[in-house]
Amino acid sequence: MSNVWVKKVLKVGICFIMILSIFFSYPVKGFAYNDAVKLSEDTYNTLLKGTTVYNGVDYGAKYGYNPLYYFLNYNDLRMAYGADPAKLVEHYAIFGIKEKRVANAPITRGAQAWSSSNEYIVPSNQLTKEKKDGMVVIPDQIHNNGGMNRRQETEARSIARQLATNIYNQVMTVNSNSKKSSSKKKSTSTQPQIPEIEMVAYATGIVQAYCNAGRELTQDEVKKSGSKVYRTAYGVFCAHEFTSAGATRALGLILDYLNDTIQQKNPGAAPIKWVHVNANTWNQQYCQIACNNHEAYADAIYGIAGYGKHPLEGGVDQDIQKYVDYATLTGIMNTRPAYGDNGQAVTYDPTYNDNPMSNVSNDYKP
């Protein structure tokens, strides 16, 4: 009889443990998208500098073959050959080309439901102080605008585009002058070398400056608000009230235009792609980024950016890059540009230089 009782207790206990495990494994808060492929620093360098030649043919020169991308893009190759550049290029030459495998870009696998067809596999911590192992997948996420109407989006995009152009020009000018005054180091990469992390840091500082000129709403204020502009780029750039959702979307919009400018002026440059971390939650929201083919982050509320993980996800303070390092020559633009994309003055906000929160609607009419 006691044995039966013991079995019943064990069954109940096991069921209880299973229920608890399911409950605690449920994702109650958002985290950065992560699908790590472990990769040591030595392995990374071995693949990066690996041979692209097989039977006298340079497949790197002919097809843009990259052993690092080929290794990361296909799990079956990692399992079969490991980080052996000679075996990888042999497979590409004999089978990969016929099978139309991708070896010239860091894209892989099927996209998530909320992303486009591309996913970028990039080293996660190779450029940080700690240089930890690991890779991360940054999907080419499709972003929503937070609920802006047509007029609001037009104005927000006008401002973001002008800011992106200014950031690109300023950072490239500073970088060009820096290269002239220092010895030039030859790079083995055929990809244009653009100081994207500096542009990201600069953009982060500009959005923070816009936020400092407005007011961050509390949860109670958001619940009482009849408008949704606080969660949009328009709220940051024009209405002067925001949450971390709006600050993240404003920064992301600038990053989108920065990427467009970089690709137009430097064909083949590494893309800037970002993921909205913790979207639609009350957790701190920020951008997880593929930048210079490495993982990075940018947080407009804290005004910080850098390679690797956000400090909330285990990043270290030494890797933080402040916008001030890149903005000292011209200062931060924290007022709205004078003209829109069509050369006409954008809608004027007469309350901007006073107190925009004193009995004034946050969605003024043109």
Q: Is 35 within the bounds of a domain? A: no
My answer on whether 130 and 199 are in the same domain is no
List, in sequence order, every beta strand (DSSP E) within the chain.
Answer: 53-54, 57-58, 115-123, 135-141, 215-216, 241-242, 273-277, 286-291, 294-299, 304-307, 320-322
Residues 307 and 170 in one domain: yes
The reported pLDDT for the residue numbered 319 is 59
Distance CA 247, CA 237 (A): 9
Considering only residues 83 and 305, tell me which one the structure prediction assigns the higher pLDDT. Answer: 305
- Residue 188 confidence (pLDDT): 47
Residue 230, C-beta contacts closer than 8 angstroms, at least 6 positions apart: 217, 222, 239, 241, 242, 243, 245, 246, 362
Q: What is the mean pLDDT of residues 88-113?
A: 78
Share of the chain above pLDDT 90, in %: 30
Give how many domains the chain has, as a whole number.
Answer: 2
Tens of pLDDT, residues 254-289: 999 999 999 999 988 888 999 999 988 889 999 999
Whether 280 is in a domain gets the answer yes
- Residue 363: pLDDT band (50, 70, 90) is very low
- Contact criterion met (CB below 8 Å) for 145 and 161: no
Q: Are residues 164 and 302 in the same domain?
A: yes
CA-to-CA separations, 6 to 9, 14, 83, in angstroms, rounded: 5, 12, 52
For tokens 């990969």, name the residue.
Answer: 96
CB-CB contact of 166 with 243 (8 Å): no
Whether 238 is covered by a domain: the verdict is yes
Lowest mean pLDDT among 120-129, 218-227, 291-300, 342-351: 342-351
Average pLDDT, the chain: 74
Q: Is residue 9 part of a domain?
A: no
Whether 67 and 159 share a structural domain: no
Residue 314 lies in a domain: yes
Q: Name which of 5, 13, 301, 328 is nearest 198 in CA terms.
A: 328
Query: Within a domain: residue 93?
Result: yes
Burial (Cβ within 10 Å: 0-12, 13-18, ≥19) of residue 234: buried
What confidence score (pLDDT) does residue 13 get?
A: 62
Looking up residue 290, the CATH number of its domain turns out to be: 3.10.620
What does the pLDDT average to over 284-301?
Answer: 91
Q: In what order do the strands lie in the sheet with 320-322?
A: 273-277, 286-291, 294-299, 304-307, 320-322
Pair 227, 316 in one domain: yes
φ/ψ of 16, rounded to 5, equals -65, -40
First to last CA, the chain: 83
| Shared domain check, 163 and 81 | no
What span, in angstroms and rounded, lies between the C-alpha atoms of 335 and 209?
9
Assigned domain for 27 exists: no
- Can you give the pLDDT at residue 340? 42
**Pairing state between β 273-277 and 286-291:** antiparallel
DSSP 161: H
pTM of the entire structure?
A: 0.66
Q: Which long-range contacts (CB under 8 A, 24 or more apart) does 311-316 make?
A: 312/284, 312/286, 313/31, 313/32, 315/128, 316/128, 316/129, 316/130
Lowest-confidence segment of 81-85, 157-161, 283-287, 316-320 by average pLDDT: 316-320
Q: Which domain holds residue 323?
A: 150-174+194-327
For residues 217 and 298, state if they share a domain. Answer: yes
Task: Compute the average pLDDT of residues 337-363.
Answer: 39
Q: Which two tokens stand for residue 113?
A: 């439901």
Residues 118 and 198 both lie in one domain: no
pLDDT for residue 200 is more than 80: yes
Q: What is the pLDDT of residue 87?
A: 93
Residue 111 above 60 pLDDT?
no
Q: How far apart are CA 334 and CA 348, in angstroms?
A: 15
Residues 94 and 77 in one domain: yes
In a shared domain, residues 205 and 245: yes
Half-sphere exposure of 301 (CA within 13 A, CB side): 19
Residues 68 and 161 in one domain: no
Q: Is the predicted pLDDT of residue 31 greater than 70, yes or no?
A: no
The closest alpha carbon to 362, from 237, 187, 205, belongs to 237
**Whether the Cβ atoms of residue 131 and residue 41 lie closer than 8 Å to each other:** yes
Specify whether 77 is located in the same domain as 216. Answer: no
Whether 77 is in a domain gets the answer: yes
Q: Return the closest-CA partner of residue 125 out of 321, 319, 322.
A: 319
